[in-house]
DNA sequence: CGTTGAACCTGTTTGC
DNA sequence: TGCAAACAGGTTCAAC
């Protein structure tokens, strides 16, 4: 589930525990979600973790060794991925697929029950390619840029919000929550949304993401931060997973539909559907 | 350019 | 209780 706020929370929590640490040895479990497990096993030992950075929904750890060229460990958590440090004495969780022993005596462990995540060791060039295919950072995108990437698109607004080539970091929860707050139906065609409403969407989205980061993300079932704590933003959800419950603004029952292949929650009164807007205009 | 549905995997919840 | 279906924060690919 991890979307931008959850990944940001995890990365900030991880940073003090891993920067400056050197990896002594690596043990792998299932590797079908890794691009190059053999290289990871061979090259990671001896590497010093210099920095950790979030990029949309994924993050990367910059690695250095005295002899070989710098590399980057790419990590995408998928739906159920998690990375944290533990004392070696702590029992290993089920579905632990990577364990790295560190020079401070602790272990960095990656767990992922569904294995929808992705781990890869990239050269700077390869990593640049991955970065380039990722869309704009929604947290600080400008009004002009937001308009440029959405204004001419004839796709549904929710499909575009979820498209990681357009924005990096928005997932199903924050897409629905931002659309409810901006009163836009998820199936509206982006190019037909008035620029002033798109601007409202941008502002509300940025406010939402910042607030979610302050509350350390949304924990639906298994998301936890680097210290094992759940987030609290799920308490602020207004539509996500609220089918049949009253809208926080108008009390009308929240509906669920499928847009872009994903469950989409919306208020039928506050977020009028494209077809009902069309018939209203004809009258 | 777009959309849809299936696939990848495990676990939990819901309904009969 | 038991079992099957539906569903889950994600991405990718083929087919239309």
Please state the rounded mean pLDDT for residues A126-132: 96
What is the pLDDT confidence band of residue A220, given thresholds at 50, 70 and 90? confident
Share of chain A above pLDDT 70, in %: 99
Q: What are phi and psi of A182, to 5 degrees?
A: -90, 0
Please state the rounded mean pLDDT for residues A120-149: 97
Other Cβ atoms closer than 10 A to A189: 14
Q: Are A78 and A57 in contact (CB under 8 A)?
A: no
Residue A148, pLDDT > 60, answer yes
Alpha-carbon distance values, A262 to A39, A58, A246 (Å)? 35, 20, 21
Classify A88 in phi/psi space as left (phi over 0), alpha (psi -120 to 50) or beta. alpha
Q: pTM for this one? A: 0.97
Instruction: Return positions of chain B under 7 A from a protein CB.
Output: 1-6, 8-12
Closest C-alpha among A164, A147, A159 to residue A203: A147
Residue A246, pLDDT > 60, answer yes
CB under 8 Å to A129, separation ≥6 — which residues?
none
Cβ of A221 near strand B (distance < 7 A): yes
| Minimum CA–C1' distance nucleotide for A133 | C11
Closest C-alpha among A176, A199, A166 to residue A56: A166
pLDDT confidence of residue A21? 98
Q: What are phi and psi of A136, to 5 degrees?
A: -65, 150
Q: Are A83 and A110 in contact (CB under 8 A)?
A: yes
Please state the rounded mean pLDDT for residues A138-151: 97
| Minimum CA–C1' distance nucleotide for A256 | C7
Residue A282, pLDDT > 70, answer no
Each residue's pLDDT tens digit, A34-60: 999 999 999 999 999 999 999 999 999
Token readout for A5 is 């706020």
């Amino acid at each position: 589930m991890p979307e931008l706020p959850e990944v940001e929370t995890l990365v900030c929590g991880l940073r003090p525990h891993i920067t400056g640490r050197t990896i002594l040895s690596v043990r792998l479990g299932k590797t079908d979600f890794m691009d190059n497990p053999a290289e990871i096993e061979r090259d990671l030992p001896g590497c010093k973790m210099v920095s950790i950075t979030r990029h949309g929904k994924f993050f990367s750890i910059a690695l250095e060794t005295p002899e070989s060229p710098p590399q980057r460990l790419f990590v995408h958590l998928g739906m159920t991925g998690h990375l944290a440090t533990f004392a070696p004495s702590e029992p290993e969780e089920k579905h632990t697929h990577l364990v790295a022993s560190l020079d401070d005596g602790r272990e960095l462990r990656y767990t992922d029950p569904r294995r929808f995540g992705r781990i890869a060791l990239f050269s700077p060039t390869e990593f640049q390619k991955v970065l380039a295919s990722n869309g704009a950072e929604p947290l600080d995108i400008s009004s002009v840029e937001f308009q440029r990437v959405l204004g001419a698109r004839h796709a549904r607004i929710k499909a575009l919000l979820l498209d990681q080539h357009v924005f990096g970091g928005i997932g199903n929860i924050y897409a629905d929550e931002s659309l409810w707050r901006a009163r836009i139906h998820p199936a509206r065609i982006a190019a037909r949304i008035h620029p002033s409403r798109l601007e409202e969407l941008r502002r509300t989205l940025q406010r939402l993401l910042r607030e979610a980061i302050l509350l350390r993300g949304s924990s639906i079932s298994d998301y936890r931060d680097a210290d094992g704590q759940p987030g609290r933003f799920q308490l602020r959800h207004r539509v996500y997973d609220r089918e049949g419950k009253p809208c926080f603004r108008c009390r009308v029952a929240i509906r669920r539909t499928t847009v872009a292949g994903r469950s989409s929650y919306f208020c039928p009164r506050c977020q009028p559907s494209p077809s009902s807007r069309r018939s209203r205009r004809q009258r």
